[in-house]
Structure 1
Amino acid sequence: MASGGGSSGGGVEWHVRPPNPKNPIVFFDITIGSIPAGRIKMELFADIAPKTAENFRQLCTGEYRKAGLPVGYKGCQFHRVIKDFMIQAGDFVKGDGSGCTSIYGHKFEDENFIAKHTGPGLLSMVCCFLCNV
C-alpha cells in the first residue's frame, strides 16, 4: 500500500514498480447499482508499510471480526469520486469518509511516507487524525 506525501521517494516511479511476489494481492468486486462493473486488484506494499497493508488486507478478506461478525469493506460504497483524479472508499463506519476504525483499534500510527503518488493506480490510506508529517 502506498502512503502519499512526504519528502523522500528515492526517485521510484511507484506506479510502474514491478510487483513484489511477497506482497499480498486483494480485490474489490465493483457493482454499479446491481450491475457488475468489474474487479479492482490491488497489491498491498507490505514491504514498505506492513502494518498498514495488514490492516487493509484483513478488512478486505473479512478476517477481522467484532462480536464474531466480519468487519470490513464488503458492501462499502465509494463515497467520493473525482473524475480523472481519484475514487475514495472504505468508510464502512459512517459511509461518508468521516468514520474511522482499524484492526488495531480506533487508529494507529503512520508507518512512513516513503512512497509517493507518481502516477495513476496507486492506493493510499487516508489519515483519520493528524498525520505525522
Structure 2
Amino acid sequence: MSDDLDENPRAFLDVCIGDDGPTRRITIRLFHEDTPKAVDNFLMICRGDAGSINLTNPNRLIRLCYSGCTFHRVVDGFMIQSGDITLNDGRGGMSVLDQIRDEEFVGDPAEEKTFEDENLGWKSMNEAGLVCMANRGPDTNTSQFFITLDDCSFLDGKHTVFGKVETGLDVVRDIGKVKVGENNKPVEDVVIVDCGQYFPESPQLKSHHQPPPPRRPRSRSPSQRRHRRHRDHHHRRRSRSPRRHHSRSRSPRRHKRHRDDDEEEYTRDDPDAEERILREEREREGRRWDNMPSNSAADEPEVKFKGRGTMRYRERKRWGGAGDSYGRLN
C-alpha cells in the first residue's frame, strides 16, 4: 500500500453549491502505485487531456473533462456522486484510457469505453473522504466516481478505491447536506466549475523564493572607522556642486570698484561706463605720481666706492601712464 504523501499525484475540484454560492476547493491525493489505471483515467479527465468527441446519440460535441459536471446523486450519510462527462445525469460516462480524439461513437458511450477493476479490497472503505470508482457491475468503470461521507465498509471488494480527500472534507460534507429531489438529485445544482492536477509547493521551492536574511554589520577596528569617516567626508565634499571661481581681472563688468565720492556711479546699462572708468583710472594714476617727491640729482642717494671717489646712483622709475608698461629715466 502507498500512503506516502510525496510519491502520489494530487488533483483538485473547484465546486459551487447553487447559482450564487462561492467557489470552494477539494484536493484529492491519488494512490497511483496501487491503482494506476483508475488514477490515470481520473487525471486525464481532470486535465482535459482526452480532448473532445462527437456523439451521435445525442448528436453533439462534448469535451471529455469534469469541468461543468454536476453532482447528480447525493445521499446524506453515505456518499456524493459525479463524473458523468457525456450525459451529466448519471446515465452516461466513459473511460478515456487510450482515447483517440474526435472519435465518433454510436449508441450509449458508457457501454463503449470501460476498464476493469483493479486491486479490489486493498483498502477498506471504512472512513469518510475516500474517492472510489462508480460502476454498474464488475469491470464496468467509466468516468463516474463517488466520495464517501461515512463508513461504507459494506462495499469492500466491489469498488476501486483510488484516492482520498486531503483538504476540503467540509465542502464534501456540505454537499451531502443539500436538499435533494427525485432519484437523490440535488434541487440546486452543485457544479464542478474547474478541475486539474494540483501541484503543492515544495519546501525547497518555498525557501528558494524567500528573501535572504539581513546581513549582520561587520565589526571594524578604530583605524578602519576613522578611514571610513574620512572617505565619507571626502565623498560628500566631492559630491557638492562646484563653487564658482571669480576671475581676478579688474574688468568693470564683474567687480565693483572703490571710487572717490565725486565719481559718478557705475551702472551696467551705461554704454560709456567702461571708457569713463578707464579715464578715471588714468587720472587717478596721474595724481598719484604728481604727489610723489621730486627725483632731482641733489636728492638721489650717494654710493661710495673705495679708491674711486663718490658716484651718484640714478634709480629707474616707472611711468604710470595709461599705455606704458615700463618706466623711463629722469
- 1:45 alignment counterpart: 31
1:109 and 2:94 correspond: no
Q: TM-score, normalised by structure 1?
A: 0.76
1:131 and 2:124 correspond: no
Correspondence for 2:52 among 66, 70, 80? 66
Q: Is the 8 A contact 2:3 2:31 kept in 1?
A: no
- Counterpart of 2:5, as a letter, is N
Q: Structure 1 segments of 4 or more deviating over 4 A?
A: none
Describe the superposition over 1:22-76 as per-residue Cα deviations: whole angstroms up to 9, x where unpaired: 2110011000123224111111111110011010011111122135x74110010
Bigger CA radius of gyration? 2
Q: Is the 8 A contact 1:19 1:43 kept in 2?
A: no
Describe the superposition over 1:103-129 as per-residue Cα deviations: whole angstroms up to 9, x where unpaired: 12511111220222120000001124x
Unaligned 5+ runs, structure 2:
54-61, 100-112, 140-157, 159-330
- 2:82 alignment counterpart: 89
Q: Structure 2: how far apart are the matches of 1:18 and 1:38?
A: 25
Q: Structure 2: how far apart are the matches of 1:76 and 1:89?
A: 7
**How has the CA–CA distance of structure 1 residues 19 and 41 changed in structure 2, closer, same or farther, with 3 Å as cutoff?**
farther
Unaligned 5+ runs, structure 1:
1-11
Describe the superposition over 1:5-24 as per-residue Cα deviations: whole angstroms up to 9, x where unpaired: xxxxxxx8xxxx84431211
Q: Structure 2: how far apart are the matches of 1:54 and 1:124?
A: 14
Aligned length: 117
Q: Structure 2: how far apart are the matches of 1:21 and 1:70?
A: 31
Q: TM-score, normalised by structure 2?
A: 0.33
Q: Is the 8 A contact 1:23 1:46 kept in 2?
A: yes
1:1-80 to 2 correspondence within 5 Å?
Answer: 18-34=3-19, 35-66=21-52, 70-80=63-73
Q: Is the 8 A contact 2:83 2:93 kept in 1?
A: no
- Higher RCO by CA contacts (8 Å cutoff, separation 6 or greater): 1
- Work out the percentage of aligned pairs sharing the same amino acid: 36
- Counterpart of 1:66, as a letter, is S
Q: Structure 1: how far apart are the matches of 2:94 and 2:71?
A: 17
Q: Structure 2: how far apart are the matches of 1:118 and 1:23?
A: 21
Q: Structure 1: how far apart are the matches of 2:66 and 2:4?
A: 23
- 1:8 alignment counterpart: none
Q: Is the 8 A contact 2:86 2:93 kept in 1?
A: yes
The alignment partner of 2:45 has SS state of: helix
